[in-house]
Structure 1
Amino acid sequence: MTRNRERVIEILEKAFLECEKVALEDLQFSYKGILFPATLSSPETLEALKSFEARSDDVILIGYPKTGTNWLDEIVRELESTDAKYTEEEMKETINVEKELQIFPRLEFGDPGKFERMKKLPSRRIILTHLPPHLLPRSFFQSKAKILLLVRNPKDTAVSYYHFNNNLPMLPSFASWDEFFTAFMNGRLSYGSYFDHLVEWNKCIDNERIMVISYEELKENQIVGMKKIAAFFGFSLSEEDFPRIVKKTSFQAMKEKSKETHGKFGDILFRKGVVGSWRGYFSKAQNEETDRKFHDCLRGTKLAARMKYDVYCKA
């Protein structure tokens, strides 16, 4: 169902104001060795998350920051609502419930009491998170809920995350690309190491309730990607539905309406959305270091094969 846009903008603008009062060193907190944005989450919220109860029909979307999760979220919501054929009244009712319950746009964002309030949300709940497996509630893996994991090549992810950190007041900025690159390679960013995130998820991908899709394959052919997603979640759509949804959810379309959907956060969230922009940032040494790191962590894995690293990260 369509997200309550007013609520999203309200949350983000409140966080913008709060971070102006926070000292640089307090913008992030550490939980189990991983950094998180302090104006959006808390250790108490992450502790409370452990007892979250997943439903068998929950639609769970997961990806490391700046791998395209906002785009995927919009695509899946359009697929789900088209399948469900909600009436206008049902749409309004859900939007009002989300607003009343003060539901945040990420599972790990908000106050510890949000998980109790989420029990009142109607099915199907679409749940979005950046978290690695060990920080997710056990119910995600014990229920029949399905998980869609979004992956993106590390070099484009790093460039996108660099601009995101430098443009978002809620996160520490970096004086240079070189400084950021060092932090990225060492996992000293919100949500920790990109590489550790993938290594953990690679251990889970044989689970039949987990599907992997890459940012790059969605960019290459969004309709084919959407058909895979629809089949995985059991959404039933007509052939005519897919081109319509592509037109509505292309990166450019979302960028053009980002002010409406995300307020002043829109320009920060939707920057370029292209594949291969890393070539304008990586030095030869940085390129080689990333290649070594990726291969050391994921060489020969099923996840690496799905990502086509040698195609999208070739110098």
Structure 2
Amino acid sequence: MTQVLHTDPTTADLSAACEEARQIALSARATYLQGTIAYAARLIREALPDAAAITVDTEDGELYEVRDAGGKALYRAPFTPASPLHDSITGDVEALFREVLPFGGLEDAGWETAAEGLPYRTVLLPGAPKPERRTAHGFAATPGRMLDVRAECVAGERAFNLEGPHPLYQRETRDRIRAAMANSGYDVPDAALTVTAHGTLARGATAADLALAVTALAATGAFDPRALHKVAFIGELGLDGRVRPVADVNAAVRTAYASGYTTAVVADDDMGNVDVAGIGIHGVDSLRQALVLMECFGRAN
């Protein structure tokens, strides 16, 4: 027999009043957020009239970056005497953010997670054209840990930026991956491409090359980024685009399996060094072959 919950009229009225108040609060929060962004946009555009989007450290309420509609950075923290955005303006803007951010509701108001990852969020300013933006999320497996890789491609001034996975070799890694992409028949389009490895590798950083390159290419539209789901990449890239074997590949695959990944992509030459049951292993000898594999995964989805 199904139980029926009987509610007395007073309880029902109180419940309805509570829900009505909640809806009013949500509406007021949205209005507050919209008003704050409009006010902040007015202040920023006094110095930077082409400002179209901002990135904010939502944990500290600090303005991190201002970009134009093409994705070009017009301002980036920290403030310097040569900054186009005076510190008095950033101070006023940040005071506004610190008042409104504790109320939450950012995602509903259009604040997206920035390429730098949380707590950084990006929001378009009122009246700005929405830039063409594509993102991708990939993963590199290393012994003992997974490395989270994010890529963002925004139409505008051509640029290729990479952060991590080893700060001492950041430029070297970027140049190697860009050369591998170009020599495989791919290059950075007329857009700003930013790849970020969330986490630092003290050694074995080149084992993340394949993940960095494949995630970057997914963001440019080379294949459906959804194909990256539950796939771990392990491989160093040569300047010619070949995928080279890495040390401790078996331990890296074990890490991927223990972390719930269903597929690992490794160098062809490492196939004989992998002995992990329960996870699909695919060997590739080049970046181009890895992209063909991902296109197949994309069609399967």
TM-score range, shorter chain: under 0.3
* TM-score under structure 1 length normalisation: 0.27
Structure with the largest fraction of strand: 2
| Greater relative contact order structure (CA < 8 Å, 6+ sep) | 1
Which protein is richer in helix relative to its size? 1
